Structure 1
Amino acid sequence: MDQAIGIDILRRRRHFRLATGILLCAGILAAAWGINRIVRPSVAARDVVIAEVRRGSVDNTINAAGVVIPVHEEVVSSPGASRIAKVHAKPGQQVKQGELLLELDDREIRLALEALKEQLAQQDNKVLTLKLEMDQKHKQIASAIELLEIDLQASRALRERNRKLRESGLVSGQDLLTSELNVQRNEVQLRQQRELIEDTRRATASNIAAAKLQQAILQKQIARQQGLLEQTRVTAPFSGMLTSLVEEEGASVAAGQLVARVSELNNYRVEATLSDFHARQLAAGQPVRVEQNGEVLQGRVHTILPEIQNGTIKLLVDLEQPHNPHLRNKMRVDANIVTDRRASVLVIDSGAAFNGKGRQPAFKVMDGAARKTLLDLGASDGKVVEVAGGAQPGDRFIVSDTSAFKELDSIRISQ
């Protein structure tokens, strides 16, 4: 005969079934969690950079490659084809104004200078000779004039005597006519001699003027040769750093070839180079941030060079601290040219996840996962980028490289 089951047994059975159900549910949840970990990819939080959207200011900048150059620099070139006779300095040393750097061979210039001086002496002698000849001719003509004046007085007296005698019938008309013609002849000869003096004076003055003109030409040529002779002694145009020098004694140099370059010490600017694609966005006076090894120097665009070479444009940047002790000649720097400034906008740290302006995908981090969304990005200064749409203050996004999971819609962020 059947017996009734005890209450304790029923209670134990009920507890067993409840425990079994709980364990079964836990097993199902654990399996789902394991499958989710296998199917859904994850990335460790330490392997990505996450930044938060916040309010801030951003500058729209154009990045350019810059080189530090001296504000004041002068080159010294060879005055003519020559060779290096002697070198007195070395590149890299500090020099004072007027200090001798090198000497060029000056033999040809000295020979040319001596030849010009000889020609000038010849012209001096020619001018002196012309003056002496003019004085001699003047004396000869003056003597002839004096004699003609005496002859004229005598012929006039004879003419007057013949006129009186003709009135008395003591001389013939032929004798009177002859005496009158003699007077006219003497007057003509006297006038010709006086005109000859003026003609001789003008001719001699013209020859002397031509000789003096040749003298002036020779003097200019001599001055030029003396200038070239002085330039064979190459000296520092001002105190500074000798940045380049032709050091090989005996080396040939062509006319106009650079033989030395002197740069001003501790006074620099930046020469920036960038693509001509940005040419229309550039203007004189724009702020520029010059960066080198983490140090930032402020400056402004001074000059935009008009020539475009190989698709690039150059501009000169004046620095607020041109005497900064960390600057060195030919040092390479980054020049960020500020074309626009925006304040109190949404910004996020810049990173490899972003590529320029416009709408682009980004991974928003929330509740241990990153889900793909679209951000509308605007201006960027290389450090932060403007978020024009698609996010709110406090939203967090992966800003490091996301190319490894760019095809996924979401990923887990594991600790």
Structure 2
Amino acid sequence: MDREIPKKELLKERNKKIIRFSIIGVACIAAISVLISLMRTGVERKDLVFSTVDKGTIEVSVSASGKVAPAFEEIINSPINTRIVEVYRKGGDSVNVGTPILKLDLQSTETEYNKLLDEEQMRRYKLEQLKVNNQTKLNDMAMQIKVSAMKLNRMKVELRNEHYLDSLGAGTTDKVRQAELSYNVAQLEYEQLKQQYTNEQQVRAAELKVQELDFNIFRKSLAEMKRTLDDAQIRSPRKAILTYINNQVGAQVAQGAQVAVISDLSHFKVEGEIADTYGDRVSAGGKAIVKIGSEKLEGTVSSVTPLSKNGVISFTVQLAEDNNKRLRSGLKVDVYVMNAVKEDVMRIANASFYVGRGEYELFVLTSSDEIVKRKVQLGDSNFESVEVISGLKVGDKVVVSDMSSYKNKNKLKVK
């Protein structure tokens, strides 16, 4: 026969079950929490680069691409249509002023020049002949004027005698009139000769000037050909490095074709390019920083191309230390052109994450060794710092290294 279990025993048994299930529940919750903690995505501290927000001055700059070029470079072109006969130097050679570089075929040009020298001599003789002929003609006319003047004086005397005889009654009125007529005719002839002499002087002088001008034009053409002939003797115009030479002996070379390039490889400049949307921020005289790896070289914008080509504007930077050992012709560099100064602004280090003004999502370190994503408004920048407009405060530590692989995470554990 079954006995009824006392209520006290039942209550005691129920309490034991409640305690047992509670312990099991707490243990499960703890296990789940530990598991979640272990499964949470983390990142190694050594893989992160932090920048602490501070306050200071930012020299605002715009970034551009650049290429190192020789401070001086001269292209030597062929002044005539010819061919290469000999090559005296090779690329990379050092050359001094007047050093022969290559020889062009100048035979036909020299023959033409010698013909022009003979023609110059012939023109000179013709000019001298013209001067002699002019002087002879004018001398003859001057002599005719003298003869005419003597004839006029003689007729004047005859007229005076006829007047005297007529006053004595020994002459006649007809003879007086005849003498007057002869005198007047002789006077007109004398005046005519003098006018002809003046006109002839002017005509001969003008003709001589025309011939002298034509001779001078010819001599200038001859001098130009002599200069062309001298230029065809391909020599170095200064001390430099021969960076290019057309060394194909026998090759035909057109007038104006490039045959050599000499460069000064001891001093350099930087040729920069920037999008034309930033063209108003680049001007001659502006300060610029050229970065070669971790090294920074100061410079000044020396010139800016006024026209945009393919959406970019070109400019040149004159370096303060243009003979730095890191400089190499053709080396690609980053150029930062300063255009404004902002004082007492919050700032963080500039890094690859920054692509211009706007809103960013950056990870900020918390006190619990976590980095939490935060929306941050950034402004202007230079090659070192970025202006913080909002979203951060002084002292915050911000991750500035590449976090693109964690773009879908809002919180990360720092291990």
Does the 8 A contact of 1:52 with 1:394 survive in 2?
no
> Cα distance 1:121–1:31, how it changes in 2: closer, same or farther (>3 A)?
same
State the Cα distance separating 1:319 from its structure 2 match: 1.7
Q: Which runs of 5+ in 2 are unaligned?
A: 1-15
Map of 1:401 onto structure 2 = 402
> Cα distance 1:112–1:23, how it changes in 2: closer, same or farther (>3 A)?
same
**Structure 1 Cα separation of the partners of residues 185 and 59 of structure 2:** 106
Map of 1:300 onto structure 2 = 300
The secondary structure found in structure 2 opposite 1:310 is coil
State the Cα distance separating 1:22 from its structure 2 match: 10
Query: Which of 47-56 and 289-298 deviates more?
Result: 47-56
**Structure 2 Cα separation of the partners of residues 21 and 263 of structure 1:** 89
Map of 1:87 onto structure 2 = 87
Does the 8 A contact of 2:345 with 2:387 survive in 1?
yes
- 1:8-35 Cα deviation digits (max 9, x unpaired): xxxxxxxx99x97997477324421354
Paired residue type of 1:407: N
- 1:21-63 Cα deviation digits (max 9, x unpaired): 997477324421354247x641231584151524254554322
The secondary structure found in structure 2 opposite 1:205 is helix
Residues 148-227 of structure 1: pairs in structure 2 closer than 5 A: 173-227=173-227
Paired residue type of 1:43: G
Map of 1:9 onto structure 2 = none
The secondary structure found in structure 1 opposite 2:307 is strand
> Cα distance 1:178–1:244, how it changes in 2: closer, same or farther (>3 A)?
same
State the Cα distance separating 1:307 from its structure 2 match: 1.6
Does the 8 A contact of 1:126 with 1:211 survive in 2?
no
Map of 2:5 onto structure 1 = none
Paired residue type of 1:402: M
> Cα distance 1:165–1:290, how it changes in 2: closer, same or farther (>3 A)?
closer
The secondary structure found in structure 1 opposite 2:110 is helix
**Structure 2 Cα separation of the partners of residues 221 and 32 of structure 1:** 100
Does the 8 A contact of 1:55 with 1:344 survive in 2?
no
Q: Percent identity?
A: 23
Paired residue type of 1:377: L
Map of 1:32 onto structure 2 = 32
The secondary structure found in structure 2 opposite 1:308 is coil
- 1:266-289 Cα deviation digits (max 9, x unpaired): 222211112122223334444322
The secondary structure found in structure 2 opposite 1:278 is helix
**Structure 1 Cα separation of the partners of residues 181 and 129 of structure 2:** 41
- 1:302-327 Cα deviation digits (max 9, x unpaired): 33221211111122222221121221
Residues 325-364 of structure 1: pairs in structure 2 closer than 5 A: 325-342=325-342, 345-351=345-351, 356-364=356-364
Paired residue type of 1:381: N
Map of 2:6 onto structure 1 = none
Map of 2:379 onto structure 1 = 378
- 1:123-174 Cα deviation digits (max 9, x unpaired): 3233333333344445555665566566556655655665566567666654
Does the 8 A contact of 1:49 with 1:400 survive in 2?
yes
Residues 236-255 of structure 1: pairs in structure 2 closer than 5 A: 236-255=236-255
Query: Quick check: 1:324 aligned with 2:324?
Result: yes
The secondary structure found in structure 2 opposite 1:277 is helix
Paired residue type of 2:42: V
> Cα distance 1:126–1:401, how it changes in 2: closer, same or farther (>3 A)?
closer
Q: Which runs of 5+ in 1 are unaligned?
A: 1-15
Map of 2:10 onto structure 1 = none
Query: Quick check: 1:369 aligned with 2:370?
Result: yes
Map of 1:315 onto structure 2 = 315
> Cα distance 1:397–1:200, how it changes in 2: closer, same or farther (>3 A)?
closer
State the Cα distance separating 1:363 from its structure 2 match: 2.9
Does the 8 A contact of 1:123 with 1:214 survive in 2?
no
> Cα distance 1:230–1:24, how it changes in 2: closer, same or farther (>3 A)?
same
State the Cα distance separating 1:175 from its structure 2 match: 4.7
Does the 8 A contact of 2:53 with 2:397 survive in 1?
no
Query: Quick check: 1:411 aligned with 2:412?
Result: yes
Map of 1:101 onto structure 2 = 101
Residues 41-52 of structure 1: pairs in structure 2 closer than 5 A: 41-45=40-44, 48-52=47-51
> Cα distance 1:131–1:314, how it changes in 2: closer, same or farther (>3 A)?
closer
Query: Quick check: 1:129 aligned with 2:129?
Result: yes
Paired residue type of 2:310: N
TM-score (norm 2): 0.79
**Structure 2 Cα separation of the partners of residues 136 and 301 of structure 1:** 69
State the Cα distance separating 1:370 from its structure 2 match: 3.2
Paired residue type of 2:242: L
**Structure 2 Cα separation of the partners of residues 356 and 136 of structure 1:** 89
**Structure 2 Cα separation of the partners of residues 340 and 148 of structure 1:** 92
Query: Which of 59-68 and 23-32 deviates more?
Result: 23-32
**Structure 1 Cα separation of the partners of residues 412 and 128 of structure 2:** 107
State the Cα distance separating 1:393 from its structure 2 match: 4.3
**Structure 1 Cα separation of the partners of residues 147 and 393 of structure 2:** 124
- 1:379-398 Cα deviation digits (max 9, x unpaired): 44355434433334443444
TM-score (norm 1): 0.79
State the Cα distance separating 1:346 from its structure 2 match: 4.1
- 1:64-99 Cα deviation digits (max 9, x unpaired): 111112333333333344433433322322221232
Paired residue type of 1:390: G
The secondary structure found in structure 2 opposite 1:338 is strand
Residues 52-91 of structure 1: pairs in structure 2 closer than 5 A: 52-55=51-54, 57=56, 58-91=58-91
> Cα distance 1:381–1:20, how it changes in 2: closer, same or farther (>3 A)?
farther
Query: Which of 229-238 and 344-353 deviates more?
Result: 344-353
**Structure 1 Cα separation of the partners of residues 354 and 138 of structure 2:** 101
The secondary structure found in structure 2 opposite 1:228 is helix
Alpha-carbon RMSD:
3.7
Does the 8 A contact of 1:53 with 1:346 survive in 2?
no
Map of 1:4 onto structure 2 = none
State the Cα distance separating 1:191 from its structure 2 match: 4.1
In the comparison of the two structures, how many residue pairs are matched?
399
**Structure 1 Cα separation of the partners of residues 346 and 147 of structure 2:** 116
Does the 8 A contact of 2:72 with 2:264 survive in 1?
yes
The secondary structure found in structure 1 opposite 2:218 is helix
